[in-house]
Every structure is written in C-alpha cells, then in structure tokens.
Structure 1
C-alpha cells in the first residue's frame, strides 16, 4: 500500500516529468524536494500565511532547489482529487520563477490561482 507521503512525491515527479517533456531546452539541474511542513522561522520577505513552497536560488555552486510543503498544500484543497492540479500549478509557478519565464511557457493550461 502506498503512503500519503509517497503519493504526494509521485504527484511532484509527475508534474516535473510533464514539464520536462514540454520544454525542449530542459529545466537544467534544478532539484526538487518535499518536506512535511515549512520551517517555523519564515524569511522576512515571506507573507504571513503559511507557504506552500519555497524556491532556493542557485548559489555557491549549488543548484537551485524547489521545496514543496506537503501538509499546507493538502490542507488547501477541498477535494483530494484536486491535489494533483494544485501540485502541478505550484511546480509550474516555482519552476517558471527559477527559469525566468512565464508559467504558461511551461504549461499552456496553467491558470494563476490568485486570478481565479
């Protein structure tokens, strides 16, 4: 039986693989990680609400890293069937920010959650 954690990891991997297939130039050496919750010490520039993800830019020879926070994401969806869409949108948003492109470049079906 697959755990909730493993199922969430699979959703992240699926989203990344879909984007990699669409982007001819690839996504570079950006790393992805999943953590249960964000650290309790948010950075000064983060909003007051609990973050769903965080982009750590490349520095000192280390690749950029995108971290998704599983529990805050799971609690934001009303219907568990919507979890895959939310994970995909978060991956698209963060990857677009890391690559300096518009999210629709990576996923033509992307729709900004803040605009809905």
Structure 2
C-alpha cells in the first residue's frame, strides 16, 4: 500500500505518541532510582517459567490481523496524499500530513455538544510548512466498513487540501464524493 516513490518536498508525518515529555518526577528508561534493585527485564522474564523459551509472536506477519487499525489508517492517509500529489505535484511540495488520535479540546467539544472535527489544516509558519492533520478516532467512528473508511479518509484529505490551496474540493480531485 505504501509507495516507494520518494519526492524531496513531499512528506507524510504520522503523529508519534513517544514524543511527549516525561512527567515531573518520572524516571527515564535505563535508570534505576536509589534504593531499588534492578532485576530481569520484562522481556527476559516473560513466559520462560519452566525453561521452555520465550513465547513467539501472537499474530504472524502474513495474517491480516497482524496490522493494527492505526497502521491501516496511516496507509490510507498516505495513499490519499500520494494520489493528490500525483495529480497536483508542485503545489503540494512541502505539505505534511499528520495523523492524531483525537482532536485537542475534545472534552470541551463534547460538553458543548459540538461535533468533533475529522481533520484540521494549519497554515505554514516560519519554522515549518503547512500541516494537514486527520483525527483517526473521529473518522473511524463516522464510518461503518473498510471501503467507507477509505472513502472518508480521502474526502477529508481532499477537503483540507482544497482549503489550503483555496480551490473547491471538486476541482482538486475528480472522484471527490462520487464513490458513495
């Protein structure tokens, strides 16, 4: 599903949950607080109780359930962004596509009974180019099946890319909202 075609100005950035800062007073990986004994790691202890060796993977890479919903969603965003880049080319150089779990301030939106956005467009700043963000949980909740998810992801990417370029979504992609 992922394209091996690499353009120098075209990037897809997926949100990384590990980039958050450590909480105050937390211990970083590899350090042990004073007064504690460092034992075997979880990986070394796991399922080797009777000397039978470590347990293997639960799901083999050849099976469909090996890929998570998050991985599949990331591929759908990548495919949609690549399709638009193949159609439009130069105007989309430097645009970054991001995937986040939920929109910021979701609690306030729910309290106000406002529908949650499926995506967001952030214009270019001095430090970085424009960013189009899709909110995975909101988009997945709005659809029923995989085909519908693929169509909705593409429509959200097209809508926010059209907002960025200042053109109607119908002129950006000829199949916009014509698959239903």
**What TM-score, normalized to structure 2?**
0.56
- Whichever of the two has the greater Rg, that structure is 2
> What does residue 72 of structure 1 align with?
138
Tell me the alpha carbon deviations over residues 27-47 of structure 1, each in whole angstroms, 9 at most, x when there is no partner: 12111100011112679xxx9
Which range moves more in the overlay, 86-95 or 15-24? 15-24
CA deviations over 1:57-85 (Å, ceiling 9, x no partner): 11224211011000010000023321000
Relative contact order (alpha carbons < 8 A, sep ≥ 6): 1 or 2 greater? Answer: 1
Structure 1 residue runs of 5 or longer lacking an equivalent are none
- Partner Cα separation in structure 1 for residue 78 and residue 122 of structure 2: 18
Spell out structure 1 runs of 4+ moving beyond 2 A: 78-81
RMSD of aligned residue pairs (Cα, Å) = 2.2
User: 1 or 2, which has the higher helix percentage?
Assistant: 1
Counterparts of 1:42-61 in structure 2 under 5 Å?
A: 48-61=114-127
Partner of 2:99: 34
Count of residue correspondences = 110
Q: Which runs of 5+ in 2 are unaligned?
A: 1-65
1: CA distance between counterparts of 2:160 and 2:121? 6
